[in-house]
Structure 1
Amino acid sequence: MLTVAEIMSHQLITLSPFESVQTARTLMERARIRHLPLVTDNGQFVGIVTQRDIFQVAVSQLADLHETEQEAIEAAIPLERIMRTEILTIPPSYPVTEAARLLLAHKFGCLPVLERGVLKGILTESDFVSLALSLLLQC
């Protein structure tokens, strides 16, 4: 049985919930990621911010704000104000097939992987594409 620990992303980019929306936006753009786990200093998972969450707090381009004004607004909003805290999480030993069912059934883009409340990884749609590609290449 293949487990989540075998295919999840281990090298994580995380932020504190006290960082700003602007910091998260910049980090997500540079790293080309859509999900940003939020953790405490000791690695305890407290929530997640998605690219969609960031877009929802952005001031509309129709507001005709200068880029520096938009950045100032985003710099003043801490992630704790927009983070999602009621997140379905899974342990590293969780079967990959069950994780896939959860992602499909709930239309999630990711599942944080926790062990005793500490973030160990994140399972994303990209991890499943990588798995599918490796299996297809074996054929």
Structure 2
Amino acid sequence: MYLVSDILKEKGHNVWTVSPDTPLLEALQRLAEKNVGALLVTDGEKIAGILSERDVVRMIARKGVCPLDLPVHELMVREVITVTPRQSLDDCMKLMTEKRIRHLPVLEEGRLVGLVSIGDVVRWVIDDQLHKIHDLEGYITGSYGR
């Protein structure tokens, strides 16, 4: 069973952040520049929220406008669901499915150490399944371990 720490070993520990007062335009530019779907909103060392592309789209659909000077704290999600490096990828998939979210900040002893996305988790789960299939095929055909 793979853990969040396995993803972070390969992916790295970079987390792209903005402050709560960052204008939406600047946050959108950062999303594009870093080619990511979400930014963690931090106030010093504290997680204040998370801002995703979905949040911006939903605000535009609701209000009918996109005020680019709006500070991100006005549309970020404040209740951020986190995981630890020791949690399984099955735990992550369950959380993401139940809560309908795509990004999980990773905290270790209260300190931010990374962020995993649904894409990261699915990639690892598929790779694990492919290895299991290969091993089973080898066992069935008698070529296992050759």
For 2:38, the aligned partner's letter is: H
TM-score, scaled relative to structure 2: 0.73
Q: 1:34-64: CA deviations, max 9, x gaps?
A: 11111123x322210010112233489x87x
- Aligned residue pairs, count: 128
CA root-mean-square deviation: 2.5
Amino acid at match of 1:83: M
How far apart are the structure 2 equivalents of 1:59 and 1:30? Answer: 24
Does the CA-based 8 Å contact 1:14-1:37 persist in structure 2?
yes
- TM-score, normalised relative to structure 1: 0.76
Unaligned 5+ segments in structure 2 are 135-146
Report how far residue 79 of structure 1 moved: 0.9
**What residue is the counterpart of 1:11 in the other structure?**
14
Q: Residue 74 of structure 1: SS of its match in structure 2?
A: coil
Structure 2 residue 106 is the aligned partner of structure 1 residue 113 = yes
When Rg is computed on C-alpha atoms for both structures, the one with the higher figure is: 2
Single out whichever of 12-21 and 102-111 deviates more from structure 2: 102-111
Deviation at 1:132, TM superposition (A): 3.7
Q: In the alignment, is the contact (CA less than 8 A) between 1:45 and 1:118 conserved in 2?
A: no
1:80-95 map, 5 Å = 80-95=73-88
Deviation for aligned residue 1:137? 6.1
**1:59/1:125 Cα in 2 relative to 1: closer, same or farther (>3 Å)?**
closer
> Aligned pair in 2 of structure 1 residues 129, 99: CA closer, same or farther (>3 Å)?
closer
Give the gaps of 5 or more residues in structure 1.
64-69
Identity of aligned residues (%): 23
State yes or no: 1:33 paired with 2:33. no
SS at structure 1 position matched to 2:41: strand
